[in-house]
Amino acid sequence: MHLRIIFLGIVLIVLSFGQVKSQDFVPYRSVYVELGGAGLPYSFNYDFRFDKKDIHSWGMRVGAGGYAFFEGDKFFSLPVLVNKLYGPGPGYFEMGAGLTLVAFSSSKPNSRSDFTQFVLPFEGSPNMMGVMSFGYRHLPKQGGFTWRTNLNPVFNTKGFWPLWIGIGIGYAFQ
């Protein structure tokens, strides 16, 4: 009789561990809006991990941003970066690098985008710039509201701007 109770107890313990394992939740995707950062003035972004079960796996982010003014000035950015998260969570150190496509036009002849000239000079449009990302990402283990802040050095053939920052808020999900 005692042997049956012990066996039943072991079976229940093993089954409960299996249930806990199957209920693990990894919010491997997120959508967010970022001011500054790799998209320059702002961008809407989608971020995901390549391994859906490991938050520490390599990931990728793709976004789009820009503006258009009535005076005819237009700006578009397309940031694409790979990144990795480090730490136990829900706070992670994020490190990444990639490229941002920038395109701009102006109704003024021989004009360059005032915004891109503020950050980093560009000759012509469209153009590319390199982007790095070093920062903090708050990512709850069960998903939901997420936020981030990053230092985003940018560079191209005309120079290097080390002090560009980005701040983002969004939603993480599985």
Give the pLDDT of residue 23: 44
Assess if residue 17 is contained within a domain: no
Residue 83 contacts residue 56 (beta carbons within 8 Å):
no
Domain total in the chain: 1
Percentage of residues of the chain with pLDDT beyond 90: 56
Assess if residue 19 is contained within a domain: no
Tell me which residue range forms the domain holding 66.
27-173
Assess if residue 15 is contained within a domain: no
Mean pLDDT of 20-27: 60
Assess if residue 156 is contained within a domain: yes
Q: What's the CATH number where 134 sits?
A: 2.40.160.20
Judge whether residue 60 has pLDDT over 80: yes
Mean pLDDT of 44-72: 91
Assess if residue 78 is contained within a domain: yes
Residue bearing the bigger pLDDT, 99 or 163: 99
Judge whether residue 118 has pLDDT over 70: no
Give the pLDDT of residue 15: 54
